[in-house]
Amino acid sequence: MKFLFTIILFFNTLIFAQELKIIADTFSTDQMKGLSVFEGHVNIVKNNDELNASKVTIYTDTTNKPIKFVAIGNVVFKIETKEKAKYEGIANKVIYLPKESEYRFYENVHLKQLNAKKEIKGDEVVLNTTNGKAYAKGLKKEPVIMIFNIDEEK
């Protein structure tokens, strides 16, 4: 039988608190260690951002505010930055740091910027959703691949 857990967490940003909704097959927590683990068809939604993975571990501080999210296993995501740039992609592992508003994507990363028609493929990609800065590293044997679609006038 599939168990459905919906956890509503609030964390502060510089401007306002945002609702975070998590749905998973199973949930376990250790409040003393500041760990919450969601497994099986994990779906996380926060505003226009969405992440799906096999397992997500959330690390919290002493006031139970999330400080780090680690998603592993077939991670699929959609992200919108503060400047309304929209991204979607896949990776084997994603780390989200709420205080920095930063996503770190690892292993077989394929990130698409939808409204600018750009793509990045690599082994490590970092995206800051506040300032819009990103960087990427290639695989040991392969370079970073970036694809631009350029519209030319005829």
Q: Decide if pLDDT at 63 tops 60.
A: yes
Domain range annotation of the chain: 5-148
pLDDT greater at residue 142 or residue 110? 110
Q: Write out pLDDT tens, residues 12-38.
A: 332 345 688 999 999 999 988 999 999
* pLDDT number for residue 9: 33
pLDDT greater at residue 9 or residue 36? 36
Averaged pLDDT, 96-101: 92
* pLDDT number for residue 82: 86
* pLDDT number for residue 4: 34
Averaged pLDDT, 58-78: 94
Percent over 90 (pLDDT), the chain: 44
HSE value, Cβ hemisphere, 13 Å, CA-based, for 142: 12
Pick the CATH number of 5-148 from 2.60.450.10, 2.40.30.10, 3.10.580.10, 3.40.50.300: 2.60.450.10
